[in-house]
Structure 1
Amino acid sequence: MSRTPSELLSTLNFTEYEEQALETLLMLGQTTAPDLSEATGIPKARIYGVLDSLADDGYIKVIPGRPKQYQPKAPAEILDRAIEAHRQEFETYRYELEGVREDFVDAFQPMYESASEEVTPTEELFYVVDVGEPSEEETRQLYRTADGQIDIITKSLEYLDAVEPTLASALDDGCEIRILFLHPRHLSADNEAVQQEIVDSLTGRYPAVEIRFSNGLLPWRGTIIDPSMDYDTGAAIVLVEEKDIPLHKRQAAVTENGSFVAGLERYFELLWTHESTTPDSLEESD
């Protein structure tokens, strides 16, 4: 297991006291509020409110008696309840947004149309985002909207943790995914170790993902989805390799221009077909 129990519970967005209480209950199985307060350090003045909140949300059971006992639900039930809670939150949020849709469009559409009249050809071709969380969110959005094909060019896919759930979802939805890594001979020892760990993780968890290694250096990296040689579909995010510029100062280009995406895909196909090595061949050369 790569994550600690506390890290796993933190993904469910509990308060600090709720997380401490639930984790301890899962270890103890069943206990009273005073005993749980002593075990966790949660003040006695707060423990009943924390337990009532967990019980009201369906994460624990309250067993009547003198004193009352508290027992956690099974881990799978806890996850199911968290999913349902967030689904309800989302539905409420969606309903609220739908309620303002007409007013929102009426207010902003004229502004948008007026500003769009001044868009330059470059802006129509692509827009830029900062590298880091902004570029990772754009990448996740590409995975979400992909209908059938995702091609990735990367050094090591070191951002896998940030995009893996969305990538896995795209795979479950039937997308074909190909990843072209930089050949390890072009990497430092540290980066080669990172790449090897990520490749091992991908091949172990997602055997349907195709992997190859580019023989030469890669001038850019990024993601291409649903390219078409008819130039009418597709989108991509591209980051040009700039060794002298710190990563936090770099920007990535995002495009939905079908012709530009088709050009990127031609480059990918040439490398994939003629200038790359399979994982098996890589192991043989080692």
Structure 2
Amino acid sequence: MEKAELAATLETAGLPPYQAAAYVALLDLGAASATAIAEASEVPKPRIYDVLEGLESHGYIETYETDSLHARAHSPAAVLEDLRDRANQFETAAEEVEDRWEQPKLESNRTSIVTRFQTVLERARTFIEDAEYQIQLSVTPEDFEALRPQLVDAHQRGVSTRVSVHTDGDTEPLAPEAFEGATLEVRHRALPAPFVALVDREKTCFSHHPDSHEQYGVLVNDRTHTFVFHWYFLTCLWENWPTVYSDYGDSFPVTYVDVRQCVRDLKSLVDEGATPRVHIEGFEVNSGDDVSVRGTLDRAQFSGVPESQDPVERLSGQVTLTVTTDEGETITVGGWGAMLEDVEATRVTVLSVPTTDATAESDLFKRP
């Protein structure tokens, strides 16, 4: 490193320009008079005494008197320690700049693009830690293990979690016991897929599969964009794939965050005359006010889709619950994105299904 470059680096580390130049000159001279140091460093002679005093106060040099003021450099140990400390600070600052650039704060209606998968995974971990009622995940077995502690905590809080585990054709999914205590249902997609995390109908983390030629991630804190990712999750990552683990109970109450699944399970019972007792939680479609009511389920229906079509095709149609509340009011209840119903449900709890001649409570638990 040239003298000028070394002096410039010392300036960057915090030394004033004259002090940096004088110190570099003194390193070459070893010990010298103030006048000689001024000449070697091109520091103006009237300034050299103040410059040397400043270097001495930093512990870089010591001065002494003979026939005139002289100086010599101290052992560089203190200087080296100082420089290395500053280097560590620069390295830490560089990492912080990268982290802040990669992990922007997601404000309301905010979408951000990031370049590292680790950023997407960390943000998903944060979202899961704050989840209140619903999580949908598309992950590799390795990603699931990385998020498992947060998923276990969410499951214990009563958050409804559904996981699509994807593998390549030669890789077996995790054993069912790996999912115990961490999720409600797991399906296995025997094809590569993107990483997707959807939390509470508001937050999305998305990243291409590592083998994709396009490597970037998307972080979303927006209901509308998350709704689009939700339909991608249902149609491509969930409906067509087999269940490999289920934690559905076989007794009441039974809780749903997906109204379509609720209708699938209840429709035949209601059509046969059953009158399930339900607790609806959500918000009014028109006002956005919170709703929490109990009542009797009178009707569960898919609209606009023939009964003979595949259940996946029912995803495109309207799905509605009709409930008579305990106060005597009749309300219609839809799922995520409801526009025509009175209430968008975030949670439907089936409290009981009174038996009739044609139905039994156990019929509800005969899921496909």
TM-score exceeds 0.5: no
Higher helix share: 1
Of structures 1 and 2, the larger Rg is shown by 2
TM-score range, shorter chain: 0.3 to 0.5
TM-score where L is the length of structure 2? 0.33
